[in-house]
Chain A
Amino acid sequence: MKKIEKLEMVEISKYFHTTRANYKVSFSIESGEILGLLGENGAGKTTLMNILYSLIQSDEGEIRINGETVRLHSPKDAIQRGIGMVHQHFMLIQNHTVAENIALGFEEAPFFFPAGHVAKKIEEFSRIYGLKVNTQEKIWQLSAGEQQRVEIVKALIRGVDLLILDEPTSVLTPQESKELFSILRRMAGNGHSIIFISHKLEEILSICDRVLVLRRGEIVGASSVQSTDKRKLARMMVGRDIIFDFEKEHIERGPLILEVKELIVPGDRTERAVKGVSFKVYKNEIFGIAGVSGNGQRELIEVITGLRRASGGSILINGKDITNASARLVSDQGISHVPEERIKFGIVPNLFIYENTVLKRHHNKRFSKMLFLNYQTIKSHAESIVKDFQVTAPSINTPIKNLSGGNIQKLILGREITGEPTLLVAAHPTYGLDVGATEYIRRQLLERRGKGIAVLLISEDLEEIFELCDRIAVMFEGEIMGILPTQEANIEDIGLMMAGSRK
């Protein structure tokens, strides 16, 4: 098959039911070029690339390779034509080895003992591109950065000409991202084309040659990176001028609310996911924990909210020891929780909205009498949350699963805040939300800080951490690398701490 010199997508449109995911999108990319695809969450970037990779089919439009119209029916066709894709959520089989993962779908692998044969090839490619991978390890033993390298090697080994990377840096430390960028530049130098999806402006500007901006499924701007800047790109991406312009007023922090002392927590696979962590959170303060996911943050939150047992150390709330107390007791002590996986742990998808607004508090006198729930109060409670927190919902009598991610998150936040907690634990509260919802939720957190709640914020988004927090801690491999007041922190230091250096 001839190498891809030029690839075009022409007038591509895609509809899901009645929503328009892509509308008349046209662009082209040439060999050796790195093209940035910029847009908010939900702008249709991933859909467009899934069409190119033929995971889904477009409703209108066509794809041309070297000027010729091609019909790609499945990823198999795309792979054969030299198109590869690294998804945001890696498409790897966790229980299989690196070699087995790469052998799957590698046409040239021999029928018998494919993994052994592939292992040799992998080592060859690793050397050329400076990608270090151990072929015999199982995927679940690898870090996110290593898994990404496996994905890239997988594409390279099959002779990819055009590689699509979907939000590749979202799981990486700033240093790992730099490494990725140098690999991508080397690939472009060797004549590969790369499409780089991101919603981070700095990244696009630093790695790409050209950038396309997508909004609501349509291309709203295209330019070379030299002739644009962050401001212009942001305006195109969001469709209005200001993005985040919070004035965080200075508030003296109040008395101590949460104290975590030498906490040790076992993980799912390891003896110790959290290795002796200590910190304090005060009233009127947002305390942020930054770090790449999977460094013990989830286990830490689960212990504080009573969902997991600690094997050492203690947790005090207002001086009261709640170590290893039940989730009900923890919640009754005034700790509320906006969980990381909102669909899995934040709501019961099939229950109605009003039922979801009293989860954890259905046993309160206000909402129940003996064995029976007081639906009248519950419904008026639900109505007021929907109104106060600007939740867009057809009615409170709809199953909550019908709401969008942003509205579900607003409702969860509303439920957790109206309980008037002393401590709010928020894990990745704006992950995957559109700009409007993100802005709203961040404002709410700041407002609650002003009203006297202590907030423990866990986030991977450094922008969010810097905007909201009074103090920032960084977690790496289950330990806190350091705690800095936000005024004294800069992004480079935080980045180094995320990769394991102490401050």
Chain B
Amino acid sequence: MDSILISVLNRTLVAGTPLLLATLGEIITERSGILNLGIEGMMAVGAVAGFIVTLATGSPWLGMASAILAGILISAIHAFVSISLKANQVVSGLALTMLGLGGASLFGRPFIGRPLPVKMAPFRIPILADIPLVGKVLFNQDPFFYLSLILGVLLWVLLSRTRWGIQIRSVGENPAASEAQGLNISTVRYICVLIGGGLAGMAGAHLSLIYSKSWTEGLTGGRGWIVIALTIFALWNPLRAFLGAYLFGCIFVLQYILQPIGIPPNLLGMMPYLATLAVLFAGGLKKGRRYLHAPAMLGEPYTKGER
């Protein structure tokens, strides 16, 4: 019984990590006022880049780095189109999804089914890992897991407790006022979108290097869309993203476990979206839209000097 529990918890954290990474990226992007619906594409590109570079160099760390770089590069398209050209962010994001998915399957074709020669070893934290149950689950995980924890806390501190955080949030809430305070709106937004792309790329690398340890087409499996739902579920707060990511990660794992006892996996596949609808519903019932904390100018292009 213990071993099943450990395995479920373990798989939950593994399944939750890419969701967390990409959600953190989308949170910072959206907090600056840019909506990026291209996560699915950015994750796919990251997954393929990470896999190919790991195969070629034998270093999963180099693989992770190139996945991040790939994510940044492809998100730069979205940044340019939506910030500099002020185009419709929904359209640009959707285009990014298709571009990313298509590009990933094109470049990934020769590598389908190839096994990963090197594995990223779990990082065992001495002493703590010997604690029963908790130790095995929390302190014997892959490096991505620890990085995602650190990044999540860092992002929370950044957004809520630092000057940069105030600046990023202000740009998403009211770019005109932020500009009057001497901020360069485009610069802030570019940086946030690129960080978001990097984190999505990293999430993709987790899928191909840790989660499945191989590349197949459709590896991302709709996770990019779950991330968009998760960002709302987390109410744009990095700490709540932890909760959401592992909750949804758990649902992924349950799909496999509950299938044999007759619960259709499709039903469980719906859960993340139902949970998001529930949050929106609960938020809508509470007095005022402010409860939802959506950045006020999310998705609105900003033109200098126009009010």
Please classify how large the interface on chain A is, using the bins under 10, 10 to 19, 20 to 34, 35 or more. 20 to 34
**A-contacting 9-mer, from B101-109, B179-187, B260-268:** B179-187
Contact A93 B163 (CB under 8 A): no
Residues of A contacting B287 in the complex (Cβ-Cβ under 8 angstroms): 269
Contact B174 A75 (CB under 8 A): no
Contact B288 A269 (CB under 8 A): yes
Within 8 A of B (CB), among A96-114: 96, 100, 103-105, 109-114
Cβ of A87 within 8 Å of any chain B Cβ, yes or no, is yes
Residues of B contacting A111 in the complex (Cβ-Cβ under 8 angstroms): 162-164
Cβ of B255 within 8 Å of any chain A Cβ, yes or no, is no
Contact A91 B177 (CB under 8 A): yes
Cβ of B126 within 8 Å of any chain A Cβ, yes or no, is no
Within 8 A of B (CB), among A79-102: 79, 85, 87, 89-96, 100
Cβ of B169 within 8 Å of any chain A Cβ, yes or no, is yes
Contact B163 A92 (CB under 8 A): no
Residues of B contacting A418 in the complex (Cβ-Cβ under 8 angstroms): none
Contact A103 B307 (CB under 8 A): no
Please classify how large the interface on chain B is, using the bins under 10, 10 to 19, 20 to 34, 35 or more. 20 to 34
Contact B181 A105 (CB under 8 A): yes
Contact A104 B162 (CB under 8 A): no
Contact with A along B144-168 (1 / 0, CB 8 A): 0000000000000100011110110
Cβ of A352 within 8 Å of any chain B Cβ, yes or no, is no
Closest CB-CB distance, B162 to chain A, in whole Å? 6
Residues of A contacting B164 in the complex (Cβ-Cβ under 8 angstroms): 111
Contact A95 B296 (CB under 8 A): yes
Contact B167 A104 (CB under 8 A): yes
Q: Give Cα A414–Cα B173 distance, bound, in whole angstroms.
A: 38
Contact B166 A91 (CB under 8 A): no
CB nearest to B293 among chain A residues: A95
Cβ of A74 within 8 Å of any chain B Cβ, yes or no, is yes
Closest CB-CB distance, A1 to chain B, in whole Å? 15
Closest CB-CB distance, A288 to chain B, in whole Å? 30
Cβ of A496 within 8 Å of any chain B Cβ, yes or no, is no
Q: Which of A87, A90, A92, A114 contacts B162 (CB 8 A)?
A: A114
Contact with B along A113-137 (1 / 0, CB 8 A): 1110000000000000000000000
Cβ of B216 within 8 Å of any chain A Cβ, yes or no, is no
The answer to whether A55 and B305 touch (CB under 8 A), given A76-B182, A94-B173, A104-B181, is yes
Closest CB-CB distance, B157 to chain A, in whole Å? 8
CB nearest to A99 among chain B residues: B166
Closest CB-CB distance, A121 to chain B, in whole Å? 14
Q: Give Cα A55–Cα B304 distance, bound, in whole angstroms.
A: 9
Contact A103 B163 (CB under 8 A): yes
Cβ of B176 within 8 Å of any chain A Cβ, yes or no, is yes
Q: Which of B166, B174, B178, B293 contacts A94 (CB 8 A)?
A: B174
Q: Give Cα A103–Cα B168 distance, bound, in whole angstroms.
A: 13
Q: Which of B163, B288, B293, B296 contacts A109 (CB 8 A)?
A: B163
Q: A104-B181, A104-B183, A112-B157 are in contact. List 8 more A-B contacts (CB 8 A).
A: A76-B183, A96-B169, A100-B170, A104-B170, A111-B162, A111-B163, A113-B162, A269-B287
Closest 9 CB pairs of A and B: A105-B181, A76-B182, A91-B177, A91-B180, A93-B173, A114-B163, A93-B174, A75-B182, A104-B170
List 23 A–B pairs whose Cβ atoms lie within 8 Å, in order of A's numbering.
A55-B305, A75-B181, A76-B183, A87-B180, A91-B176, A91-B180, A93-B169, A93-B170, A93-B173, A94-B174, A95-B296, A96-B173, A104-B163, A104-B167, A104-B181, A105-B181, A111-B162, A111-B163, A112-B157, A112-B161, A114-B162, A115-B166, A140-B290
